Structure formats: C-alpha cells, structure tokens
Structure 1
Amino acid sequence: MKLQAGKEETKLDYNQDFAIVDDVSNVKEALDTMIQNNLRLLVIQKGGNPVGICDSHLLLMQTGRLDQKIVYDTEFITIRDHQDFSISVHDFSYALIVDGKNQIIGWTDGKSVEIDSLKLAYSKDMRAMTTDLEAIVDSIYDEVLVVDAQGKIIRVSNRSTNNLWGVNLQTVIGQNILDLEEKGWFKPSVTRKVIEEKKKISIVQHNRFGRKILAVGNPIFNRKKELVRIVIASRDITEETRLEKELEEAKTLKEQYRKEVDILRKVHQGNGKRIIYQSEQMKNLMFEVERVAQVESTVTIYGESGVGKELIAHSIHQLSPRAEKPFIRINCGSIPENLLESELFGYEKGAFTGALGNGKKGLFELANEGTLFLDEIGELPLNLQVKLLRAIQEREIMKIGGTKTIPINIRIIAATNKNLEEMVTAGTFREDLFYRIHVIPLIVPPLRERMDDIEHLVYHFLEYYNDRFSTKKHFSEDAMEMLNAYKWPGNIRQLQNVTERAMVITSNQMITANDLVKILENRKKSQNPVEVHSIIPLQIAVQDTEKQLLHLALSKYNTLTKVAEVLEVSQPTISRLYNKLKNNMGV
C-alpha cells in the first residue's frame, strides 16, 4: 500500500515503544527484550534492514517454543516522518516511521491511522452541521434565545428585532433575563418557571408595549440530569387569526423535526451492527465484545431472559476471523435429554432404532471452522457435560455408535440466565466444565439498568413494524414517557412485544399512554401473583408471603373469619398466624 499526498491530509502520530532485533533471535530472547523494556512491538532486521514485525500478541502465541527462531509478519510499510498523507484504498497492519537518515524512530498501525482519518472527517461533518443548524435557527420565524441555568443570555438568533422587546437583542447578550423581567420588559418569565420546574414550559407573556407573546422554554440537561441551558422561542400572538395559522405551522415543523431527529439517530447508530444501543453500559460491553472477538478463548454470556444474549454471541462471531464460517446455535433447554446428545454429536448408521440410514452429522461437525453457540448451557444434563468437556479439551468428538474420533476446530460461546457458580456449589454443574467455559465472562445488563437505550429501541421497532405492516404509526409524548418509566422485567423481548401489540391493536396513527396501559395491565394480570427476585431461606420467604397475604386480606375484609374463608384455611389457623406475626413481625 502507499500513503499518498491528498486533499484530506494530516500529520502522522507514532509510538516509540519498540526495539530492533535480528531475525536469528529466538523466542525467549525476543520475549525478554519486550518484557524488560515494556514494549509492544519488535522490528526484525536482517543485514541492517527491517524485514518484519512481531507484536506482543504474535510473540505470546510462540511461547510454547522458546528456543526456536522468532516468527514474524513481513507485511508492513515504511513512512517518512512529518510526511503528509491520505489513506489509499488498500489496508495495512503496521507502518514503520523513519527520519531523514532512514533510521527507524517509531511505528503506528493501520487502525490508528484509520481512526485519525475518521476523526478528521467527523470534525468536518460537525462543523458543517453546526453551520447548517445556525442557518436553520436563523430562518425560523420565532425569536430564539439561549440562556444558561442562571438565566444569563448566551445567544440570540439573527431574526431577533426590536418588535417584541423594543431593543436589538444582540445588545443584551451577557445580561440576565430575570433582571429584564424585574425591569418590566415582560411578565411572567418563562425562564424562571423552567428553572423552578425543570421541564418544558409554554406561557403567554405580556410585554411592556401591551402585546401578547407566546414563549416556549425548553430545558437542556447534561448527563448528570443537571440543567445547563434553556432555549426560549418567542412570537407575537396578538392577532387570533395569526395565532391559528402559526399553530398549524408549528405542528408541521414539529413533525419535520421529529423526522430529522430520527434520521440523525439512524446515522449515529449506523455502525453496521444489529444491536441498537446508546447507553454507556452497552458501549462498554460492545468494546469488550470487539476485543474478545479477536481471540479464540471460550466466552460465557450471562444475562436475564430477553436481554439479547444471542445477538451478543452473533456479534462476537461476526467480528471474529471466523465470520465467514458457520454460526450454529442450539438451546440446551429446549431439546429433550434423550435427543440432545445426537443433536450435538451426531450418530453413525444404525446407532439406534429410528436412526437415519446414512447416519447424521451433529452440530459440532456442522459448526466446524466456525462458532457453536450453546444457549441456556445451565440446562445441559450432567452426563452430557462430561462429553462437552472432553470435546472442548481434546478438540475432537465421537458420534453415537462411532468407533473413531473426529477432529473439530470450533469456537465455543455459551450463554445462560443462571448463576453457574451457585450451580457448581449445588452439584448441578461440573466444576471442571465451568472453568473451561468461564474463561471470558460477559454480562449483558437488563434493560432497566440501561434506560437510555429504550427510546432508540422503540424507534427501531417502530420503523421495522411500520415497514412490515405498511403503516405510519408513532407514539405520543406521554406514551413515550410511560415506556421510559416502565421497568421491563421481560427486557428487550418484552419491549418489542409491547411495541408490536400496540401497533396491531390500536386503530389510530398515534399510540397513546392509554393504549399502553391496557397492554401492560393485561400482562400484569397474566403474571404469577408471587414473584421471587433473589434467593433467600425458604422459611423467611414463607413468613414474608404470609405477612403480605394477611396485610392484603385484612385491608379488604374486616374479620378474621372472612380472611380465613378467602385464604381457604381454618379460622384457628388464621388466628394463630395473625397473633404470631403481630407479636414477631409487627402485623
């Protein structure tokens, strides 16, 4: 590849943690050099010229043969220091930086250069977007002011004139808008109400010239939910006919803004992945996914049902060197135990009654060279855990009824919603298998712990089902607030289910909070009346349930006789239980 001069040029940043070693060096010598000097890269030279690159990962892969010559990568390029460059259509792994005397002074990698180029392009896009947004704001009919959390005026739109305030607003930048209210310029102050109530406020003001002003204050919060800005849009609504026309224009503008926000959101999420996320928790998880995808270690994905464990597993496969090979999934809890072994390992001709005449390949064989995803591995019977352990350790399997082993080359990814360590303690999961699959644990947080993702997921499902059903439905603001406030015990799967149901059963284009209440209440009624969210001693659980039942029954019925009747126990039992709980637990 070449680095050529071009219009999108930048200066090259490089690393200096490297050493030059001869190509006759063995692995032990190279490893000692790298560790002692805290290096990440070795440059291999022959006859005084660089001939290859060996990074820390490649060197660690050779530690099993310390006395042999180091193996290195010969695909690299050389770049002169301070050279302006742009990336061509080809890719490269490493580049050596040389000075004017052709002495190696540093190195960089293709990914860093690519990221720097993307940052440059993103910076230019942001500047262009800022210019466009300023032009949009200045073209809006309203007068727009931006104030800080204390009311200090920071910016005004160029459209602002003397019509509403009697002065050019450019001259009041830096003043406090609350002070202008005290001077009688207008009343009441929308800024003061937004500061007090921390929400969007719309009010009708009266200015000092006796005209009516519609002022809308929109609060802007930072990630800590602290108020940092207030955007105020104001317009004269003295004439009723003019007000009606402008309200209609506002509705159109609002819908246009909604579409623009949706487009911007899709562009922001356009990373080629099937997983929709915005929260910091998921960003950190996906960072781990990208890292572990490059190694062959076994991964176990933990998470509640419906959080998207299979999508995480598929992402690991897609980001790995095995991406073009098969991705085979099996749910260990959905197949009867007597069939699970044949599904996993296959069988030979005539292995058992009912077997296919030519035998059958198992999922291990079908996944060869690719990835085998064992979903709900906690449901795997103990006898198959032994066989799975052997397949992982020996990298070979034997079919049912077979007499010879079959070598396999696959990556194992497991997933479960159970605590495997507790299962090991209880004796329902083999400890040796646990340590084999628990090399890299990944925990997918439940949706209630990453609420920032809800709105993005909802828009994603809306787009999907609108396209599927040929509709143009959307959620109202109060419906979206309800979706954001709900705890989603069924996680993303439940959110998708509720979105689809709402779109199917509602007849209007807009889905309201009332529509969602009916769906969520029906689900609540269909759930088990008793839920257990953590493991506690059985006796304590029974006592707590009894206490709650008594409280609930006594709040509805006035006598212990009636309580005994509805709880379907004898009156002496209720009396004894009531006295016990009253004395010991404060009923």
Structure 2
Amino acid sequence: MLHRSIMLHAEDRIHALITRLRESAAPPERQALLDELTEIEASVHEVAHSVVDYQHVMDELDDNILVADKDEVVLYVNDAYIRHTGIAPEQILGKRITELLETGTYFTDPTVPEVIRSRKKVMKLSSMFGRPDSLGFVTGVPIFDDAGEIQYVVACNRGVSTFKELRDNFVHFVEAVNNLQGAAGHVQMVPNSSGIVTPQMVGESPAIQRVYDLIENVRQTTATVLITGESGVGKELIADAIYRTSSRAEKPFIKVNCASIPASLFESELFGYERGSFSGANASGKQGLFEAANNGTLLLDEIGEMPMDMQAKLLRAIQNNEITRVGGIRPIKLDIRYIASTNCDLKKKVREGTFRSDLYYRLHVIPIQVPPLREREGDVARLSQHFVSEFNKQYHKNVVLSPENIELLENYSWPGNIRELRNVMEYLVVCCAPNGHVDNSYIYGTFDLSNQNAYVEYDPDQSLNDAITAYEKKYLENALRYARNLKEASQILNIDPSTVSRKLRQHGLTLQGK
C-alpha cells in the first residue's frame, strides 16, 4: 500500500520533470536525460498500476487502521480512523507517537511503542484522552523487512460497542436456535467418543437414556420410526436428532403437520397435482411434499389426525414407494425415510375405527415412546438449571434457583412437560427475581393444580355434597404437596391461614412440614 503510494508520487514528479525538460531549449545531452526519464516514467507507471490499491481497500474498512514506521512516525491512517476519532490527518501524519501522547489527542495506552520494544504482536484496551466512550480493543502487529528488522507497525482498533453488537447478535442467534417449536431447548448436538454427531439429552434419568439408546440404534438405518408421547415432551426434536445424525443428513427433511392441512387439500399437498387438475390450481402444476422429500426424510407429525381416506393413500405410497399426482397417470418412484409422531393413543384409535390398523403396523416398525417429564427422575432439576442458564444469558440476568425452589419444582407433575417447564423458567427469570433469587410463591402461581389428578369419577351411589367434599379433599391433598407450612398453604390456595387450618381438620389432613 505504502510502496504504491510512493510510486504514484514518483510518477507525478517524473512527469513534471519531463514536462519542464521538453519546454526548455535542451542541448543534446539533455535529450538523453529526457529519454531516460521517459523510460523510467513508463516503468514506474507499470508498477504503480499493476499493484492492488490497498489504500482504497483499507479506507473501506470499518476498523481504525494506523501505520507507523520503526521510529514511531505515523505514515498512514485510514478513513475510518479519521471518522471515528475525529482527528484530522494533518494532526497525526508525520508525527511520532510520543509527541502525540504529549498533546493529549492520542489514545491513552498506544500499542506502537510496545510492539517496537517487544517485536511481537500486542493486544490491549485503550481509549482517547477525555473520551471514555471511545474505548476500543487495539491490536498492534510488527512488519519486518528482509533483514529481520521492524519496518512498519500496523495498529488496528475496533470499538467495544462493535463487540457488544456482536454479542447481542449472537444472543439472538442462540435464542432462535433454542426457540424451535416444542421443547427444543433440551436437545443439543454434540460429538460422541467416536466422533460421530449424536443427540445429547439434558438429563440423566434411565427413562431418557433409553430414548437416547434407541436413537443411536436407528439413526443410520432407513427403518420407519413412530415417535409417541404426550404434548410437550419433545417428539419433533427426537425426529430432528434422528435426521441430523443419519446418512441422509445432507438430504431434504420435510415436516408435515397432518393436523394443519384441510382435508380437501390433503392429497394435493402431499402428492402434488398436474396442471389443470382443478379450479384455482397452478397453471404448471405443483410438486407435492412427498416429492420434495425424495432421497431424504419425511416427518408426518400428528399422524393421528390424518383423515381416513388419506390414510389408505398414504399406506399405498409407503408400501409401493411411489405416488401419483392428482390429475396425473404417471407413477413417481420415491426413496424416503419415514418418521411419524403423535400424542394420540393410536391403538385406541384403531379399536375405535378412526385409524387404519394396516397403516398403524406399517408405521410401528421402530416405536420410540418419549417419557413424560414426571417419569424422568432427577431431570426436572437438571432441565430447570439448564433453562435458567439459557435465559440468564438471553436477558442478562443472574437468577439462581435455591434447593427449596428445586424441591418445589420436582414435586409438581408438569402436565405440559418440557414446554411448560421451559416457559415457567423464562417467566421466573424475566419477572420474578429482581435480586437474583426466586420466591416460591411465584412458582406456586405458575402451577395448574386443576390438572393434578383431582378429577372425581361419577358414582351413582354418591350424593352431590359427598362428591364435592371428596373433590375438595383431593384438591387439598394435591396442593399440600407443595407447602411446608400453613403460610405457604394459604398462599397456594389463596385463602387465609385460619380457613386452611379448619379445612385440614375437617378432612383429617396434616401438613408434613408443619
């Protein structure tokens, strides 16, 4: 960059000399000089214009760039340096760093002198005198000549605000990854001991380890997998894990939510259609989701909601490995790995006649039952800490769960499973811990005690009053699981302590921690 600038300057000087010689009445010996200068001008022009204009490149950078020589004399600053510091070029070019320090216009802790002394790269934080907002991360790098002596020092300064923007962008990126639909946050992709990427669950319970073992067994096969489990347990993430660690990881992965497609559009969406098949159709026809998944993986989510007439066509497509577009006559061969998922009891639907038994057995090749959170012993604490850590980073908080918080969380049955737990942890981090500690009363408020098995079956031999009394007793028993004393019980039930005490005596109940 600097050599090119010198070349351009030399070219201008030579051109000026040639012009003066031509305008003078030059004797013959001066003509020889003129010829020589003309030849030199041509060579300098060729060199100057054959080198990349690095100065232009440097001026387009957003980082502050300064170049000094071995004597600390500033030779160059780029446009960003001038723009960000407010220092005019004439204030700094041609001056020594030590002189600039004395004027109070330079940075408080420059790297150039230290680079020259140490002959090594130097990194440090520095700011301009009287400008704390100008704090930046400075890197000074020595450039050596052929003799191994320092020829230049290049200092690059990037403001701390840039790193803050990078941090915020990274936080948004992590949030987007972790906020995948469902219980996305409890699955991470990490290498195992053999170097193969496998899904590592957050949790060590035997129940979830069995799921992990199944994923490891099926991921490299083409066997059809049926994933079942309650809403919120992370079925879709299990499917993601199988796909991402399979031999088809670089091929398409198409997810179909069978509950969201109108019955009238099911066949055309799945199998596509030829042009002119029906009113309003695309004039050139349309590829279906099955074709889009060809050579890859197809997830049939909420398969239990598929209409009966489509179940027969789906079965035929899976069995024959081919589909025919709506309005078409030409079969299209397919190579698809199928994964289905549902929170329905498909066996019950088969008995009721709302799901085809032949399709059920076609899908039920490798069943993976994802356990509900209440059956994952010890994982509530692990997942809670995991989510709190995630949201602490996202919202720049420092919330800590106490042993009492963990005990309370573990005693709840989590009907919404991991999705519910994740939402509760986000609520606690954002709203309920101004001092970093969570009061149990906030946790109580998030629990849906109506789902805690308080339902009382109809008994024809029982009066309404007796049924109400039985329901109240069951409700109290469930609520008391989360209370250590009378005060906490009154907070959970939202009634005064004297009423709690009276009802406990009425139903013959006691507080374990009382």
Residue 297 (structure 2) aligns with = 371
Q: Which residue in 2 is equivalent to 1:352? A: 278
In the other structure, the counterpart of 2:120 is: none
For 2:467, the aligned partner's letter is H
For 2:443, the equivalent position in structure 1 comes to: 516
Q: CA RMSD in A?
A: 2.9
Residue type matched to 2:267 in 1? E
**Superposition deviation, residue 356 in structure 1:** 2.5
Distance in 1 of aligned mates of 2:471 and 2:272: 60
Equivalence for 2:417: 491
Q: Distance in 2 between matches of 1:269 and 1:314?
A: 14
Q: Which residue of 2 aligns with 1:321?
A: 247
Structure 1 unaligned segments of length 5 or more: list them. 1-265, 533-540, 557-587
| Counterpart code for 1:514 | S
Cα pair 2:414 2:420 within 8 Å, conserved: yes
Counterpart CA distance in 2 for 1:490 and 1:301 is 17
Whether the 8 Å contact between 1:395 and 1:409 is mirrored in structure 2 is yes
Name the larger-Rg structure: 2
Which whole-Å CA distance do the structure 1 matches of 2:415 and 2:387 have between them? 18
List per-residue Cα deviations over 1:481-507 (Å, max 9, x = no partner): 111111111111111111112222225
Please name the residue that 1:303 is paired with. Answer: 229
Q: Shift of the alpha carbon at 1:294?
A: 2.1
Q: Which residue of structure 2 lines up, in the alignment, with residue 552 of structure 1?
A: 468
Q: How does 1:175-190 map to 2 (within 5 A)?
A: none
**Identical aligned pairs, as a percentage?**
45
Q: Which amino acid aligns with 1:437?
A: L
Which residue pairs with 1:543 in the alignment?
Answer: 459
Give the 3 Å change call, closer, same or farther, for CA 515–554 of structure 1 in structure 2. closer
In structure 2, give the amino acid aligned to 1:390: R
Q: Distance in 2 between the 1:450 and 1:296 partners?
A: 29
Task: Return closer, same or farther for 1:400/1:279 CA change in 2, 3 Å cut-off.
Answer: same
Q: Is the 8 A contact 1:475 1:512 kept in 2?
A: no
Compared CA separation, residues 547 and 403, structure 1 to 2 (3 A): farther
- Distance, in Å, in 1 between the alignment partners of 2:416 and 2:400 is 22
Structure 2 partner of 1:397:
323
List aligned pairs for 1:109-508, cutoff 5 A.
Answer: 273=199, 275-508=201-434
Query: Do the aligned partners of residues 338 and 486 (structure 1) sit closer, same or farther apart at CA in structure 2, a change above 3 Å counting?
Result: same
Aligned-residue offset at 1:397: 0.9
**C-alpha contact 2:201 2:212 (8 A) present in aligned 1:** no
Q: Using a 3 Å threshold, how does the CA distance of structure 1 residues 447 and 388 change in structure 2: closer, same or farther?
A: same
Alignment deviations for residues 364-416 of structure 1 (CA, whole Å, 9 cap, x no partner):
11111111111111111110001100110110111222221211111111111
> C-alpha separation between the residues in 2 aligned to 1:314 and 1:519?
30
Name the TM-score, length of structure 1 as normaliser.
0.44
Structure with greater helix percent: 2
SS in 1 for 2:226: strand
What secondary structure, in the 3-state scheme, does the structure 1 residue paired with 2:387 have? Answer: helix
Distance 1:394 1:468 in 2: 48
Separation (CA, whole Å) in 1 of partners of 2:394 and 2:308: 43
Higher RCO by CA contacts (8 Å cutoff, separation 6 or greater): 2
Shift of 1:447: 0.7
Q: Distance in 1 between matches of 2:409 and 2:318?
A: 43
Deviation, structure 1 residue 546: 6.4
* Distance of aligned partners of 1:332 and 1:546 in 2 relative to their CA distance in 1, 3 Å threshold: farther
Work out whether residues 275 and 311 of structure 1, in 8 Å CA contact, stay in contact via their aligned partners in 2: no
The one-character-per-residue Cα deviations of 1:168-200 (angstroms, maximum 9, x if unpaired) are xxxxxxxxxxxxxxxxxxxxxxxxxxxxxxxxx
Aligned to 2:106: none
For the Cα contact (< 8 Å) 1:330–1:373, is it kept in 2? Answer: yes
2:463 and 2:407 mapped to 1: Cα distance?
34
**Could you say what secondary structure the match of 1:433 adopts?**
helix
- SS of the residue 2:329 aligns to: coil
Give the residue type in structure 2 aligned to 1:298.
Answer: T
Query: What secondary structure, in the 3-state scheme, does the structure 1 residue paired with 2:254 have?
Result: strand
Partners of 1:478 and 1:512 within 8 A in 2: no
In 1, Cα distance between equivalents of 2:208 and 2:344:
20
Aligned-residue offset at 1:311: 1.1
State the Cα distance separating 1:471 from its structure 2 match.
2.0
Give the counterpart letter for 2:279 in structure 1. T
In structure 1, distance between residues paired with 2:247 and 2:189: 26
Distance in 2 between the 1:454 and 1:445 partners?
A: 13
User: What SS does structure 2 have at the residue aligned with 1:284?
Assistant: helix
Q: In 1, distance between residues paired with 2:189 and 2:231?
A: 28
Q: Are residues 295 and 549 of structure 1, via their aligned partners in 2, closer, same or farther at CA, if it must alter by over 3 Å?
A: farther
Q: Distance in 1 between matches of 2:395 and 2:426?
A: 10
Classify the secondary structure of the residue corresponding to 1:511.
coil
Q: Give the drift of 1:270.
A: 7.5
